[in-house]
Structure 1
Amino acid sequence: MNGSDESPAAAAEGLSAREVAQAFDPDRLRQARQLALKTKHDLAIEVGVSPAAIGQYESGVTVPRADLIARFAEALDVPREFFVTGRPQAKLESGDAFFRSLRSTTAKQRAKATAFTEQLWELVYAIEKHVRLPRVSLPGFVGGEIEPGTFPSEPEAAARALRQMWQLGLKPVGHLVRTIESHGIVTIFAPFAKDDEVRRIDAFSTLAFSRPVIVLSPDRADDIFRHRFTAAHELGHLVLHGGQSAGDVALEREADRFAAEFLTPKSVMANVLPRRLDFGLLGRLSEEWGVSIKSLVYRSREIGLLSDATARRAYIRIELLKKQGALADRPVVQFPTELPELLSRAVSLAESQGLSIASLARDLRWKPAHVRKLLGEVDNRPTLRLV
């Protein structure tokens, strides 16, 4: 790690704008622009060229002048060397990622999310040079897909199969996110969830890389029960929908069915759920199984233990209890084992062997703050404002 050979990233440091232009990677401009949530028109106005010129730079038809490199770096908040070619990169199309709130997100928002996930892959790749992450033990996963026939196509049967493969039995999954990460699936909070323009992005997942990836949103899911169901929903996409195009509402329903069975197996629920409304029992089962009371009512109706009319009365009662403060959402941060930590712990381990955030940033050609952002670290320093 500290040998005498100069790494490509180190060699790129201190390059002049002219040298960066000579080694310009068109796709890095596209990636940085999408991550900054800018259109070609937006960026063109900021740097003083036409939108058509931006398109030509990103397609590789023409190379930007040296004086534009510094403008791009400033407008997109990246180091100048970010645009240099020659380091590993993976391209992700928006159709390769399953967005839980697809209908409420714009193409620009999804482009930011996919650009973020591309960079997440780069971060994982860089970390794995120093730390051996858990082996991917999602049955049938061969990098980019799950072999056909590994799981049943019916969502409930697939959920039961994964429970068996992961030796979970029929007990509650007490630490869902930790369990997912322990099987080598990269799980992370989206660091842009507080941005007004992209907070509609709920969660998404993809099989497109060498490791499956699940991206969750801490703000959209700031209730532990909803958070757990969302994680199980994305796990369902990974198991069920490799090779299928995202965007089909039917696939979202299948992922919901998978999540319900994975978290609350029907064979157990049929024997423990009440056959009449009993909020005391439902509350105890909610705590035991890590799902909301509302989800348990829905499960009871689905199994046939409660009538539609009784379930409707229960939903009304639940909303009333929420308004009265008797049922309150509990922030995810209160449940450490449901917080993604695979990458941050890997970096901490690497730091004990001499790696630093600064050296990792140099390798990636990012700013150190950007590395910390992807790792979920929060910068609590006060902001100096000059008026």
Structure 2
Amino acid sequence: MNIEQPLLPGTSLGGTSPRAVWDGFHAPRLTQARRLAGLTKREVADGIGVSAAAVGQYEAGTNRPRPELIPRLADVLDVPIQFFVAGRPMGKVDSSMAHFRALRSTSGAQRERALGFVEQVWELTHALEKRVQLPPVNLPGFTGGEVSPGAELPEDPVGAARALRQHWGLGDGPVRHLARRMEANGLIVVAPAEAEEAAAKVDAFSSSGLLRPVVVLTPNRADDVYRYRFSAAHELGHLVLHAGATGDIRLEREADAFAAEFLTPQKSIHPLLPRRVDLAQLAGLSQTWGVSVNSLVYRYRELGLVSDATISRAYQRLRGLSAQPGFAPQSVRGYPGEQPVMLSKAFELAEQDTGLTIRALAAELAWKPARVRELLGMPDSRPVLRLV
């Protein structure tokens, strides 16, 4: 992790000239902007009329783009020219610091774009945390946490899930409002809008490489609240079990085992599962426990309650019911407690207490105001003027 120092006193981002940006040009910001835009060095080079090798030199810090090229760079990458100025806090994240829910189906470019998104989420959080006291990180196993010394979880997924439930005082029943529960314990949880392409094209992912753990629940999960909740619990498992280790199918299976036990503890769900795989009864349990019927069927397999052949037949029957009430996916939009609010509420509190505005926050971050609204989940509600 690399956290840069705050902007030096007397330095202003407002009204910065291309020459001033050239004087304070910060190579990692160019890399971040390119990752966020999802562009290759060749594509950036073509956009500003230089060679790909030249862009490589700009990013390596061995050369700087000429002042007259900087507005072109900003235009190609859709950032203000002030974005490239050094001195603002920057949390750097690489692929060794993140867990991707579907690693094999996620391209390197998509992962790079998503990591840039996480960096910006952290920068926004850092800016808000200077004004508002956020919940302390209370996550045993997370090295940057603020838990009491000696708070540790077992290394096996099931034991860790049980211990975390106890640590968070969840008892043995259903976990209500999982996203809010995670936020209340200091985790940054974000659910980007469909328009946020930096995260929308990858599956759920998390990072433990910054001062607060970050969990990103992507739009393709939001169309099914139970799948969304399982993904959140899966990423929670990575954060407590797998600090410093990524990219292994074994780790993904461990995170799945953690999520299953965290959401449906064996000692609670076992007595409730009907002796025979009764899909109608499981549909009722699904609503009570906030997990899919598919997940409950899989619990039969995990607990060794029925044969694999019985499981296969149950899945076949489920496919035929997938569009029926009680079995069809339900959007997370109908479950406010599963939608993260910490960052937007922090902004609202700072707005009330200090007069902070979107425009002022954007200037501090050197982002466009629309980008701030996007990450806060606060779209511009003004009507759009269209000229025809």
Q: Quickly name the TM-score band, shorter chain normalised.
A: over 0.9
Looking at structure 1, the residues matched to 172 and 10 of structure 2 have their Cα atoms a distance apart, in angstroms, of 49
Residue number among 165, 168, 176 corresponding to 1:166 in the alignment: 168
Contact 1:145–1:208 (8 Å) recurs in 2: no
Q: Does 1:48 align with 2:41?
A: no
Correspondence list, 1:98-113, <5 A:
98-113=99-114
Give per-residue Cα distances to partners, 1:137-173, cap 9 Å, x unaligned: 1124342899998221110011001011111110110
Give per-residue Cα distances to partners, 1:312-362, cap 9 Å, x unaligned: 111111110114566211101100000011100110111112111111111
Looking at structure 2, the residues matched to 304 and 179 of structure 1 have their Cα atoms a distance apart, in angstroms, of 31
Consecutive unaligned residues of structure 2, counting only runs of 5 or more, are 1-6
Could you tell me how far 1:299 is from its partner in structure 2? 0.3
Aligned letter for 1:276?
A: R
Correspondence list, 1:10-159, <5 A:
11-143=12-144, 150-159=152-161
Contact 2:141–2:240 (8 Å) recurs in 1: no
Q: Alignment partner of 2:219: what SS?
A: coil
Contact 2:101–2:203 (8 Å) recurs in 1: yes
Q: TM-score with structure 2 length normalisation?
A: 0.92
**Aligned residues, how many?**
380
Moved more, 83-92 or 375-384: 375-384
Moved more, 276-285 or 72-81: 276-285
Contact 2:194–2:219 (8 Å) recurs in 1: no
Contact 2:25–2:86 (8 Å) recurs in 1: yes
Q: Alignment partner of 1:337: what SS?
A: helix
Q: Does 1:269 align with 2:285?
A: no
Could you tell me how far 1:301 is from its partner in structure 2? 2.3
Looking at structure 2, the residues matched to 136 and 198 of structure 1 have their Cα atoms a distance apart, in angstroms, of 24
Aligned letter for 1:372?
A: R
Looking at structure 2, the residues matched to 276 and 9 of structure 1 have their Cα atoms a distance apart, in angstroms, of 72
Aligned to 1:210: 211
Moved more, 210-219 or 49-58: 210-219
Moved more, 148-157 or 213-222: 148-157
Q: Does 1:283 align with 2:283?
A: yes
Could you tell me how far 1:56 is from its partner in structure 2? 0.3
Using the aligned pairs only, state the percent identity: 53
Q: TM-score with structure 1 length normalisation?
A: 0.93
Give per-residue Cα distances to partners, 1:252-301, cap 9 Å, x unaligned: 11000000000000111221101102222211111110001111111012
Could you tell me how far 1:16 is from its partner in structure 2? 1.2
Aligned to 1:320: 320
Aligned to 2:3: none
Q: Alignment partner of 2:216: what SS?
A: strand
Looking at structure 1, the residues matched to 215 and 71 of structure 2 have their Cα atoms a distance apart, in angstroms, of 34
Contact 1:218–1:332 (8 Å) recurs in 2: no
Contact 1:104–1:200 (8 Å) recurs in 2: no
Q: Alignment partner of 2:205: what SS?
A: strand
Consecutive unaligned residues of structure 1, counting only runs of 5 or more, are 1-5
Contact 2:18–2:71 (8 Å) recurs in 1: yes
Looking at structure 1, the residues matched to 136 and 362 of structure 2 have their Cα atoms a distance apart, in angstroms, of 25
Looking at structure 1, the residues matched to 326 and 345 of structure 2 have their Cα atoms a distance apart, in angstroms, of 37
Could you tell me how far 1:377 is from its partner in structure 2? 2.3
Looking at structure 2, the residues matched to 30 and 114 of structure 1 have their Cα atoms a distance apart, in angstroms, of 12
Looking at structure 2, the residues matched to 62 and 7 of structure 1 have their Cα atoms a distance apart, in angstroms, of 23
Could you tell me how far 1:178 is from its partner in structure 2? 0.8
Contact 1:193–1:217 (8 Å) recurs in 2: no
| Aligned residues: CA RMSD | 2.3
Aligned letter for 2:309?
A: A
When residues 298 and 142 of structure 1 are mapped into structure 2, their CA distance, relative to the original with a 3 A threshold, is closer
Q: Alignment partner of 2:33: what SS?
A: helix
Aligned to 1:184: 186
Aligned to 2:352: 352
Q: Does 1:337 align with 2:345?
A: no
Aligned letter for 2:261?
A: E
Q: Alignment partner of 2:220: what SS?
A: coil
Aligned to 2:238: 237
Aligned letter for 1:336?
A: P
Q: Alignment partner of 1:14: what SS?
A: coil
Looking at structure 2, the residues matched to 132 and 148 of structure 1 have their Cα atoms a distance apart, in angstroms, of 25
